[in-house]
């Protein structure tokens, strides 16, 4: 197995155990290489599924002090689900592409954040930063998911109307792939141009404010004036860089690749676009009835 895959899974698993053993009494040895842990994994999971773990002593004392105001954020059965997902991903890691592995790993990590109730409860700082970055990407990704999904469904339905249904999902997706990529590129160009206009306007506003700030800050103390000027300058510098990147992307031959390079990740893009679409469409039974025999 890839060293990074192993490291990522172990880091997440260890953090899960740290939080579980903070809230619940457990003497489980969590190192993956420890035979005691691996030999008794199924027994541990079964106990968790039955919620057969008492609250830890430190939590018992805290709950006695705080009363009903203190709530444990998760049940053992929820942790069991996460650990089983990690174990399954570990077993399948060698046959999964890096992209698919990362997506499944990210889903487990975000599910863990939801179980805990927030990023602040993750013990490991590196893991917390990873989760924060994934959530930020998901937020940007979700904004484009619905319109691009609509493009996908529209093209599938248009082709069914022209030529009839396909025998299987793989055939359907590969048949429309060329038209789909073109339609996505049109969407991307339109969005990039609108983003360019938006950031140009923000830059103009900041630069105009910079001129006014010079006059207004005459009355301010030196430290406050320097801090305000530095903050605005940093924002201007960031916008200028973003505008430069957007212009480079719009001039690129491979738009999708350039967008991903600069952090503008779009749904259904990259080298595994067909694989990603097939995976998602399997969970759309009503649409499958429309497009497949």
Q: How far is Cα 276 from Cα 213, in angstroms, rounded to an integer?
A: 49
Q: Is the pTM of this model over 0.95?
A: no
**53-70, pLDDT tens digit by residue?**
888 887 777 777 776 556
What are the structural domain ranges in the chain? 3-123, 143-291
Q: Which residues pair with 166 in a beta bridge?
A: 292
Instruction: Decide if 148 contacts 256 (C-beta within 8 A).
Output: no
- The stretch 93-104 carries a mean pLDDT of 86
Q: How far is CA 49 from CA 13, 130, 183, 204, in A?
A: 17, 28, 47, 58
Give the model confidence (pLDDT) of 140-199 as tens digits: 888 899 999 999 999 999 999 999 999 999 999 999 999 999 999 999 999 999 999 999
200 vs 253: CA distance, rounded Å: 23
């Amino acid at each position: 197995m890839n060293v990074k895959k192993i490291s990522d899974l172990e880091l997440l698993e260890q953090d899960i155990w740290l939080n579980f053993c903070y809230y619940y009494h457990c003497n489980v040895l969590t190192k993956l290489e420890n035979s005691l842990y691996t030999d008794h994994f199924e027994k541990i999971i079964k106990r968790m599924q039955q919620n057969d773990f008492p609250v830890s002593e430190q939590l018992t004392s805290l709950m006695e002090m705080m009363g009903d105001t203190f709530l444990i954020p998760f049940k053992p059965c929820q942790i069991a689900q996460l650990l089983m997902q990690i174990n399954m991903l570990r077993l399948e890691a060698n046959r999964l592409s890096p992209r698919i592995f990362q997506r499944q790993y990210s889903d487990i990590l975000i599910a863990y954040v939801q179980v805990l109730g927030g990023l602040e409860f993750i013990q490991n700082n590196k893991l917390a930063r990873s989760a924060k970055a994934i959530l930020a990407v998901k937020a940007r990704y979700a904004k484009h998911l619905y319109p691009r999904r609509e493009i996908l469904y529209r093209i599938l339905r248009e082709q069914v109307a022209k030529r009839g249904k396909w025998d299987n999902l793989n055939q359907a997706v590969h048949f429309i792939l060329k038209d789909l990529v073109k339609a996505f590129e049109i969407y991307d160009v339109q969005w990039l141009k609108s983003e360019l206009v938006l950031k140009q306007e923000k830059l103009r506003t900041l630069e105009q404010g910079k001129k006014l700030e010079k006059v207004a800050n005459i009355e301010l103390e030196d430290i406050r004036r320097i801090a305000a000027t530095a903050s605005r300058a940093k924002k201007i510098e960031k916008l200028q860089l973003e505008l430069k990147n957007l212009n480079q992307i719009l001039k690129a031959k491979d738009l999708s690749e350039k967008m991903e390079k600069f952090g503008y990740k779009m749904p259904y893009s990259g080298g595994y676009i067909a694989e990603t679409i097939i995976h998602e469409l399997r969970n759309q039974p009503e649409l499958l009835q429309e497009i497949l025999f």
